[in-house]
Structure 1
Amino acid sequence: MNNTHNFSATRLALAVSLAVSALLAACGGGGDAGHDAAASATLEAVQAVPVAQAHNTPTAPDAMADVAPRVAPWELQDDAVESAAFLTSQMQLAEPTEHALAAAAAAATADLRVKWNPGHYVSLPLRDESTILKALAEIRALPQVKGLILRYEWAQLETAKGVYDFSRIERDLSLAQGAGKRLWVMVATKVFRPGGRAVPDYLMTPEYEGGAYKIVIGARDAIGSTERYGQNAALHNTKVRDRLVALGNAMGARLNRHNALEGVTFNETAMGQTLVPLTTEQKRAYFNNLAQVDAATQRAFPNTVVMQFINFPKTYMPGLVTSMAGSGVALGGPDIFLEDRDLNTHIYPLYDLAKGKVAIGPSVQPENYATTVQHGAPNPPKISELYAFGRTRLAANYMFWTRPRFGNDYPRVLEFFKSSAFPKDAAGGLTTTCPSTYAACTARL
């Protein structure tokens, strides 16, 4: 990563490096070996543009970040009336019902121990076997670095309605387990690459209101395509919600008790700048349904940490986090920006609501290595500062560190991991206390 504060003097190669690695690794990373050729072809096109433009140009076809702001302007605004109404609704839904009490009674005889291995995990931009093996080799001698977090798109996991393919996850679990490490699975319902599909094809029909909505990513046309938009799943539609719940149920039935599976998480809550704005009713329904998906997935994985990455919109986050804490759903986030006003004022305080109740897992994204505020000028923080913020301010049980494909940021992370400043206890200095909403914590079942 370029460390200069004079952006105009930045070399083109390093500007492209920042663009590529940020675009590849946003929201948890993840990709396939087959995408490498397309990524290289796109990179050649990027190298022809000026430095400042290269810093904001889409490059790789999988797990891409937005080039325009990831967070739409309205998501940074706070509607106090709507926020209070949504919070109240989630608090009411959290009150025990006869059905919930009956389910709790039935669960009393079940094995509800949660696999619990706090520590540091590495997020990869690609998940081809060679990249995974290389990353595992780099952390093999670091017991505090427990494993990897990899991203899998919904459309890759459900190839047709009710037809599931978890073979890639199972392969990656096997690779991690073989190296004595563990795996976090991120289920992605949002894609940033132009023309990418956020949901399986069968959902993209009138029955499901198209299944997804287009999000503006500020991109040029994708190579060989006129498409300029990413997608986000249309979770305001109850039928789309129910299909995502079904995916979680199928995954849980197959993978929940795998001892190498540490956790399952969903990508960030930021909805993005929609091509066609959603109504207030649709936004409210979206986050009400997301809360239901989170809770249902936690029930489908009773022995595995289930997490939701949160950031924006501000209006719905207090209610969503309240629901998560009541349902035993862990709280994670896509960014550690040390000096960002919006995050420090409105989002990071929500971690305090979850602290001690559920697991907490912030992540360090490529842009977090480069600046301390969203879309800020280059101002690279020290790795030790990112670590201290996650450990102390956010009370992390898990920290996810992105391993960009280019630049010197990840070598700096590895250097910190090997330094005397990095605690040598089993969790690398992170909190290990079993959260109060978990029946019990165990290293393995």
Structure 2
Amino acid sequence: MITKIRPDVAAVLLAVALPVLAKTPENFIYTSSGELEAASAIMARNDIGGAQIVYNWRSLEPEKNKYDFSQIEKDLARLKGANKKLFIQIQDRFFEQDARYVPDYLMSEARYGGGISPQFDNPGEGKPIGAGWVAQQWDPAVRQRYQLLLAAIAERFDGQVYGVNLPETAIDLDKNKLPKGFSCDNYFAGEMENLAFARKVFTKSHVVQYVNFWPCEWNNDHNYMGRLFEFASANHIGVGGPDIVPNRKAQMKNSYPFFNKYKGKLALVAMAVQEPTLTYRNPKTDKPFSKDEFVLFAEDYLGADIIFWSTTSPWLAKK
């Protein structure tokens, strides 16, 4: 006896049997505040869905409690007019010696303890260690000011911008001159508090935390990485990072395995190919990673939904 299967049931069974195919990540460009117009030719491409733009804290709050969102307004209007999306990064850390782009009051008023601390950064393969600054997010007083900024941006732009992301978790402080009040646990707790606050005030736009490394941690030995991904998964928070470097050891011992573990369990995964990322070379070919190599790893291993590409990416120069 041959049992016939109804067409609707057969369709369900077929869907269950077939593997779920990863979708190709959407392409955005990555640029800085005030530079969108210079990238207008790239933005006009049909294969570019939007832009991630970095706005530093100082430009958004030039004076205490006085916010200036005119550049976001301008960029948003330009992108909406082109039917493109805007993702904003609210930057509180900087990678140049003279880049102290936080409001003056944060550095001058005693209650904020200087507001920022020097940090070091290795910006890419073959590059020297660079100096920079990071806002002291482990200090509750500094953190309160950053959260007030987040709330002000959310009040104006929640649901208008496609998403917001908080900067990368990695910082590298001078271990012989640690700032007052700093500990790795305090820093982790402060960053998690900022993330929870961002999710609270942005109820419509995507919220993404950039995560690559945590101070004091290697291979999740403090469970910082594990706790962040678990929290993000449970609270409809996206996760991303500033660099796609296929199979690189340092990343494979930190954030990358968690992206893989949580594939399909996060609200959004947004990864970047920034200028330093382009300096890394594929050890098998001894050539810079190609677009296809970046995309394949981002799609298959990291589960990326969006890739933020530097405007200097070679493939963007081709028509």
TM tier, smaller: 0.7 to 0.9
Alignment of 1:196-345 (within 5 A): 196-204=99-107, 205-216=109-120, 229-258=131-160, 261-274=161-174, 276-278=177-179, 282-313=183-214, 314=217, 315=222, 316-345=224-253
Once the 2 structures are TM-superposed, how far is the Cα of residue 321 of structure 1 from its aligned partner?
2.5
Q: TM-score, normalised by structure 2?
A: 0.79
Could you tell me which residue of structure 2 aligns to residue 130 of structure 1?
37
Partner amino acid, structure 2, of 1:269: T
Once the 2 structures are TM-superposed, how far is the Cα of residue 271 of structure 1 from its aligned partner?
0.9
Separation of aligned partners in 1, 2:243 and 2:286: 16
Separation of aligned partners in 2, 1:256 and 1:183: 12
Could you tell me which residue of structure 1 aligns to residue 12 of structure 2?
none
Alignment of 1:97-116 (within 5 A): none
Checking the alignment, whether the CA contact within 8 Å between 1:122 and 1:148 is kept in structure 2 is yes
CA separation of 1:286 and 1:198: change in aligned 2, threshold 3 A:
farther
SS in 1 for 2:272: strand
Separation of aligned partners in 2, 1:218 and 1:308: 20
Could you tell me which residue of structure 1 aligns to residue 300 of structure 2?
392
Separation of aligned partners in 2, 1:253 and 1:240: 20
Alignment of 1:43-54 (within 5 A): none
Could you tell me which residue of structure 1 aligns to residue 18 of structure 2?
none
Q: Which string of whole-angstrom CA distances, capped at 9 and with x for unpartnered residues, describes residues 198-248 of structure 1?
A: 4211111320111111124599xxxxxxxx942101011011111111111
Checking the alignment, whether the CA contact within 8 Å between 1:147 and 1:182 is kept in structure 2 is yes
CA separation of 1:252 and 1:125: change in aligned 2, threshold 3 A:
closer
Q: Which string of whole-angstrom CA distances, capped at 9 and with x for unpartnered residues, describes residues 1-41 of structure 1?
A: xxxxxxxxxxxxxxxxxxxxxxxxxxxxxxxxxxxxxxxxx
Checking the alignment, whether the CA contact within 8 Å between 1:119 and 1:399 is kept in structure 2 is yes
CA separation of 1:346 and 1:128: change in aligned 2, threshold 3 A:
closer
SS in 2 for 1:273: coil
Once the 2 structures are TM-superposed, how far is the Cα of residue 362 of structure 1 from its aligned partner?
1.2
Q: Which string of whole-angstrom CA distances, capped at 9 and with x for unpartnered residues, describes residues 314-349 of structure 1?
A: 343222233333332210011111131121233211
Once the 2 structures are TM-superposed, how far is the Cα of residue 307 of structure 1 from its aligned partner?
0.6
Aligned residues with identical type, % of pairs: 26
Structure scoring higher RCO (CA < 8 A, sep ≥ 6) equals 1
Structure 2 unaligned spans of 5+ = 1-24, 124-129
Alignment of 1:344-359 (within 5 A): 344-351=252-259, 352-353=261-262, 355-359=264-268
Once the 2 structures are TM-superposed, how far is the Cα of residue 280 of structure 1 from its aligned partner?
9.1
SS in 2 for 1:194: coil
Q: Which has the higher helix share?
A: 1
Checking the alignment, whether the CA contact within 8 Å between 1:324 and 1:330 is kept in structure 2 is yes
Q: Which string of whole-angstrom CA distances, capped at 9 and with x for unpartnered residues, describes residues 399-434 of structure 1?
A: 111112xxxxx242465xx7xxxxxxxxxxxxxxxx
CA separation of 1:354 and 1:278: change in aligned 2, threshold 3 A:
farther
Q: Which string of whole-angstrom CA distances, capped at 9 and with x for unpartnered residues, describes residues 340-382 of structure 1?
A: 11212332111123632321111112233332479xx963122
Tell me if 1:360 matches 2:260.
no
Tell me if 1:194 matches 2:97.
yes
SS in 1 for 2:277: helix
SS in 2 for 1:346: coil
CA RMSD between the two structures:
2.7
Could you tell me which residue of structure 2 aligns to residue 13 of structure 1?
none
CA separation of 1:196 and 1:368: change in aligned 2, threshold 3 A:
closer
Separation of aligned partners in 1, 2:207 and 2:236: 8
Moved over 6 A (4+): none
